[in-house]
Amino acid sequence: MRSRVVMRLVSREGKVRYMRKRVALILSFIVACFFFFCGTLHAIDVEDLVRDAVNYYRGDASFSTVDMTIHRPGWERTLTIKAWTKGQKDSLFTIVAPPKDNGNGTLKRGKEMWMFNPKVNRVIKLPPSMMSQSWMGSDFSNNDLAKSDSIIEDYTHKITGTEIHDGKKVYVITSMPKPDAPVVWGMQKLKVREDLIFLSQEFYDEDLLLVKAMTGTEIQMLGGKLFPKIWKMQKTDKEEEYTVLDYGEIVFEESLPDDLFTISSLKNPRR
Partner 1 sequence: MYLQLAWRNIWRNPRRTIVIMTAVVIGVWAMIFLGALMRGVSAQMVKNGIATLTGHIQIHQRGFRNDPVIENSMHEPEMVEALLAEYLPSDARWSPRVRVDAIANNARHSGGLTLVGIDPEREAGVSFIGQAVVKGEYLDAGDEYGIIVGQALVDKFETKLGRKLVFMSQDTERDIASRAFRIRGVFRAEMEATEKQYAFITKGAAQKMLKLGAGISEISILLADYEDAESVADNLKEVIPPDSYEVETWRELLPLVTAVLKMYDWFIYIWYLVIFIAMGFGIVNTILMAVFERIREFGLFRALGMKPLWIVKEVLTESFFLLTLGMIIGSGLGLLSIHALADTGIDLSALSEGLEFVGMSRVIYPVIIIRDIVVANLVVLVLGIAVSAYPAIKAARFTPVEAMART
**Site residues (CB under 8 A) for partner 1?**
111-112, 127-129, 131-132, 143, 146, 180-186, 203-206, 211
Q: How far is the CB of 187 from partner 1 (least distance, A)?
A: 10
Comparison of 14 and 110: residue with beta carbon closer to partner 1: 110
Q: How far is the CB of 214 from partner 1 (least distance, A)?
A: 15
Rg (CA), the chain: 25
Comparison of 131 and 263: residue with beta carbon closer to partner 1: 131
Comparison of 6 and 209: residue with beta carbon closer to partner 1: 209
Largest CA distance in the chain: 99
Q: How far is the CB of 154 from partner 1 (least distance, A)?
A: 9
Comparison of 79 and 190: residue with beta carbon closer to partner 1: 190
Comparison of 55 and 148: residue with beta carbon closer to partner 1: 148
Comparison of 74 and 127: residue with beta carbon closer to partner 1: 127
Identify whether the C-beta of residue 71 lies closer than 8 Å to the C-beta of residue 241.
yes
